[in-house]
Amino acid sequence: MNTYEANTNRYEVMQTARCGRSGLVLPEISLGLWHNFGSVDSFDNARNMLRTAFDLGIFHFDLANNYGPEPGSAEENFGKIFAADFKKYRDELIISSKAGFLMWKGPFGEWGSRKSLIASCDQSLKRMGLDYVDIFYHHRPDPDTPVEESMLALDHIVRSGRALYVGISNYNTEDALKAFTILRELKTPGVIYQGRFNMLNRDLEKAGMFDMLQQIGIGAICFSPLAQGLLSGKYLNGIPANSRAERNHFLKKEAITPDLLEKISKLNAIAKRRSQTLSQMALAWILSRNGVTSALCGASSPEQIIETAQAPMRKTFSQDEYDEIDSIIFSRIKYSN
């Protein structure tokens, strides 16, 4: 593959947002490497997606220790691509990783002990060939480890130079407030929360998460913004071959009911009236919510990234549009992805 030179106009393309009351700024669309960057995937496609994203002003790449498959392989592939294409742009990039889900055998291969989090961070840095990550997250709360221990581990990760900022993911509102309070007392730059949020799943909003984060000056980045692809438009004409639902991987085929497909079709009609694709409207809707800093999008092709990168260009909704979207989604069924 040819030598990469980034688009000189990349910062004229993507809108950015400040992460809470911190100095950290993120693109409103960020790229997640959960799927399609592992050892079982096309390396050249992964490389093209990262190049496309950066050329469009998407300078935040989000990983975790266990992303693949195989676990760890997304970080390894990213490290190879970083060394070849992005090393000279390191000071422009926001690279994040996480630890908390199962990564290796034994009692310290998951959860949130001091040993587990620090060891995992070291492993991630080695796989990616980095001196530091910009953000390191505790990926999920540990029911058996005091939150104080997990937050002290994050504090050590920052003070030892392994990360610039830290965050938490998948915590409930009460536990997230406790965690960020501890980090603030430690004077640790805990600046961001990562959680699942989309048009179809509004649990975070209902639980007051965004209100709480705004009150204490913390940013929010939302994963699964397209509900595992349901809001991408790919299911408008049934279940396509090689889709997540067809592979029965995380999104279950039986979850795609006629009632749900009808709702998606009606949402698509609103998107067309707004001169957007369904995925663009779904992302714009997220970015219009109070307290949201960035939408964390996965991708399987450069073309998908080009499409999603246009979402922030039209993120203003009328009250009538909000009401129509809600009336469609909240009629009869409740979806949880």
As a 3-state breakdown, the chain gives helix, strand, coil percent values, each rounded to 5, of 45, 15, 40
Q: Is the pLDDT of residue 30 over 70?
A: yes
pLDDT at 233: 83
CA distance 116 to 118: 6
Q: Is the pLDDT of residue 8 over 80?
A: yes
pLDDT at 86: 98
pLDDT at 243: 59
Range list of β-strands (E), the chain: 16-18, 25-27, 29-32, 60-62, 94-99, 133-138, 163-169, 190-196, 219-223, 294-297
Listed in sequence order, the residues at least 6 apart from 218 whose beta carbon sits closer than 8 Å to its beta carbon are 19, 20, 180, 190, 191, 192, 193
Q: Supply angle C-alpha 71, 295, 1, rounded to 5.
A: 55
Instruction: Calculate mean pLDDT across residues 235-261.
Output: 70
Top pLDDT among 212 and 235 is at 212
pLDDT at 89: 98
pTM over 0.85: yes
Q: Is the pLDDT of residue 332 over 90?
A: no
Q: Is the pLDDT of residue 208 over 80?
A: yes
Q: Which domains does the chain have, with CATH numbers?
A: 14-329 (3.20.20.100)
Average of per-residue pLDDT values in the chain = 94
pLDDT at 258: 87
pLDDT at 250: 60
